[in-house]
Amino acid sequence: MSGDLDQKTAYELLGLKQKEYDGICEAMGREPNYTELAVFSLMWSEHCGYKHSRPLLKNLPTEGEGILQGPGENAGIIDIGGGQAIAMKIESHNHPSAIEPFQGAATGIGGIVRDIFAMGARPIANLDPLHFGSLEKARQKFLLEGVVEGIASYGNCMGIPTIAGEIHFEDAYEGNCLINVMCVGIVDQDKILRARAEGPGNLVVLMGSTTGRDGIGGASILASAEFDETAQEKRPTVQVGDPFTEKKLLEACLELRDKGLLVALQDLGAAGLSSSSSEMASKGEVGIDMDISKVPLREQGMEPFEIMISESQERMLAVIKPELEAEVLAICDKWDLDANVIGKVTDTRRLRVFLGEKMVADMPVDALVDEAPTYVVPAVRPAHEVDEPLAEDHYQPPSDLNETLTTLLRSPNICDKSWVYRQYDHMVQTNNALWPGAEAAVLRIKGRKTGVALTTDGNGRRCYLDPRRGARAAVAEAARNLSCAGAKPLAITNCLNFGNPEKGEIYYQFQEAVEGMAEACKAFQTPVTGGNVSFYNESFGQAIYPNPVVGMMGLAEDVTMIGTPGFKDEGDAVLLLGNARPAVDGSEYQSHILGDVAGRIPDVDLEMEKKLQLLVREAILEGLVKSAHDVSDGGLACCLAESAIDGGKGAVIELTSDQRPDLLLFGEAPGLIVVTVEEKYLEHFAQLALDLPTQVIGRVEGERLLIRASGADQIDLPVAQAAKAWGAALETLITG
């Protein structure tokens, strides 16, 4: 033990419990020195060790047709035919972004991009599901602007388009914003890389930026603890990014891949050298010896433990054959990158760290990577969760539904988000077949008819009321978004954002959400290829809404036949698909208009969803459907208004229902889709639909949205007026 700290003070400051320290001593056969203790504290942190989630994550489906790589590597890999594959992963940078929004978000992009090219894939797209507190608070505006600027700065500099995502605003995220970032890449299947160290005697090469003290303790002290009054003191644990160095690192790694010079490749993210080296050794069932005196430093006087746990960005660890050393270093020099042989692969199954001739750490790889303790917390159902939905007369109806619709269109959760995505270069690489703002993004695969469709979805408010139903609904809505674009869902990556798992209510929410997600993924045959768990999203004991975010990819068979949400031509029939009954519980109407979050959300009928989505995909591919838009936030009225705004055309709608008009129009339930079909194809569409619930509810017509229900006109709003309310709201809220 070095310094003035005794053993107890040291392990507690490093975030370890007494029994965890005892477990480390048992695994080591002795007491660890400070460097060893620091490495174990990172590897056994919640962020790296998945102590509360590992037992439950085993319930998620991870295998299926086309899955070339599931969880366990830097990213999942999905076969898309033609000898090509898609790599994808989503992760969080919540805690760093809440402390320092620009660098937190920027380095979140940097980290997830490295996960993709560590697999040998060239990144082709970023997605950014974001959640903040109310924009009425000045700090939330500061966080939003900083996060968007950070994402734009890093992604734009690297030439990777940010093409999709979502933004939600709820009071529950005031103390802990959620900054989830997803990256997608494309790779030839014969060039896929793995992070599996092999071949005793092979060399370990550190490439990229120099190593400093930035990010030290990020995975343990910052990401694996709640926030309190000391939050701002954790600013030094936030990493600092350099996208230009990462761009050079990306190109160098792909050149090394193309020339067949790599045995293995791993990025340095959370826990830095500690995690990258030990995880590579664990996967290959080998050991690694490292001489950290050969690590290029940007700060003087760094201690061995600081070098081992630094989270300085833009660094990769490679395993190469000794005879290729000169060629590998020459390529790194060509790209103006530091590259140094810092170690070698051994057959010891140990991670040994040297400072020159002096050994400063000697740890069993298995203990570091595979033996972090796991915890099962007695689940406690939260008191706010109920078994029955609210009665339909629980709230008084508003007197003016026109005003209600206009107010909802101005809601920051529904309004136009172009203020955000205009700051991203979403056109770089020129693959776009469908622009941001639609149900999903679609990218062309150059030289092929097929396209890659991508979306993210998560709604913490619904999961707060019922985490199992909410998680099922998130998967179903992501699949519905892809289907409305004409793409078949194939796989998901997930980012599971929750509060403190040591509390019974939070553990219950996590357990239920994982089960719900597993059920939906099995139904849609969309395995989970990997992802991230982000716990301890709490401030002063107040947790965020439980929010399992889904990143989903699918294939569009023909990029010339893609579904879009906007109304197209006068006289087209407007059809409502599905028979789900809208409800106020958990809706944007309940939250934004009625000022409440209560009840029990409607469940998703997974079998009906599958059939409806298949119908929509087939109809789009046959050219029967001119527009497709799922009914989600804001209910049917907002769905119709958004289609009218997007297409610049009005509609006359007649609804027949025994439901109160405000609930029918603004209530929400999964499983409803609005499509438009040319009159002459209605019979053909009906034949395709067979016995599925479909009804013609109106026609595209004029320049107003007119909705009639319960024998009276409920909505009569010029499309231009709706567009003005919807289009200007977010920028007005932010800039005043």
| Band (125; pLDDT cuts 50, 70, 90) | very high
- Predicted confidence at residue 237, as pLDDT, reads 56
47 tagged catalytic: yes
- Predicted confidence at residue 234, as pLDDT, reads 45
What 3-state class would DSSP assign to 505? helix
Question: Which residue of the set 52, 93, 131, 629 is catalytic?
Answer: 93
Count of alpha carbons within 13 angstroms of residue 57, beta-carbon side: 23
* Per-residue pLDDT tens over the stretch 653-671: 999 999 999 999 999 999 9
- Predicted confidence at residue 179, as pLDDT, reads 97
- Predicted confidence at residue 227, as pLDDT, reads 52
Strand order in the sheet with 287-291: 264-267, 315-320, 203-208, 338-346, 287-291, 350-355, 358-364
Residue 329, token pair as written in the block: 């270093």
* Per-residue pLDDT tens over the stretch 164-179: 999 999 999 999 999 9
- Asked whether residue 701 is assigned to any structural domain, the reply reads yes
Residues 115-123, mean pLDDT to the nearest whole number? 98
Residues 699-718, mean pLDDT to the nearest whole number? 97
The pLDDT of residue 1 is above 50: no
Residues 106-113, mean pLDDT to the nearest whole number? 96
CATH number of 712's domain: 3.90.650.10
- Predicted confidence at residue 236, as pLDDT, reads 53
- Predicted confidence at residue 3, as pLDDT, reads 40
- Predicted confidence at residue 226, as pLDDT, reads 57
Residues 417-433, mean pLDDT to the nearest whole number? 87
Residues 392-402, mean pLDDT to the nearest whole number? 96
- Asked whether residue 281 is assigned to any structural domain, the reply reads yes
% of the chain residues with pLDDT over 70: 96
Does residue 605 contact residue 671 with C-beta atoms inside 8 Å?
A: yes
- Asked whether residue 104 is assigned to any structural domain, the reply reads no
The pLDDT of residue 429 is above 90: no
Cα→Cα distances 327→251, 255, 369, Å: 15, 11, 32
- Asked whether residue 692 is assigned to any structural domain, the reply reads yes
- Predicted confidence at residue 295, as pLDDT, reads 98
- Asked whether residue 717 is assigned to any structural domain, the reply reads yes
702 torsion bin: left (phi>0), alpha (psi -120 to 50), beta (else): left
Residues 468-473, mean pLDDT to the nearest whole number? 98
Q: In the predicted model, what is the mean pLDDT of the chain? A: 94
- Asked whether residue 569 is assigned to any structural domain, the reply reads yes
Cα→Cα distances 630→34, 148, 574, 709, Å: 55, 27, 13, 20
Among 346, 372, 398, which residue terminates a domain?
372
Among 354, 372, 390, which residue terminates a domain?
372
Q: What is the DSSP letter of 502?
A: T
Question: Which residue of the set 47, 95, 592, 629 is catalytic?
Answer: 47
Does residue 184 contact residue 553 with C-beta atoms inside 8 Å?
A: yes
Does residue 480 contact residue 675 with C-beta atoms inside 8 Å?
A: no
φ, ψ (nearest 5 deg) of residue 367? -65, -40
Residue type, 239: Q
Alpha-carbon 223 to chain mean position: 16
Among 322, 342, 372, which residue terminates a domain?
372
Does residue 527 contact residue 521 with C-beta atoms inside 8 Å?
A: yes
384 tagged catalytic: no
More confidently predicted of 1 and 301: 301
Residues 184-205, mean pLDDT to the nearest whole number? 98
- Asked whether residue 221 is assigned to any structural domain, the reply reads yes
Strand duo 287-291 + 178-188: pairing:
unpaired
Q: What distance in Å separates the CA atoms of residue 681 and residue 592, rounded to the nearest whole number?
A: 39
Q: What is the span of the domain harbouring residue 267? A: 193-372
* Number of domains comprising the chain: 2
Q: What distance in Å separates the CA atoms of residue 477 and residue 487, rounded to the nearest whole number?
A: 13
The pLDDT of residue 29 is above 80: yes
- Asked whether residue 468 is assigned to any structural domain, the reply reads no
- Predicted confidence at residue 330, as pLDDT, reads 98
The pLDDT of residue 512 is above 50: yes
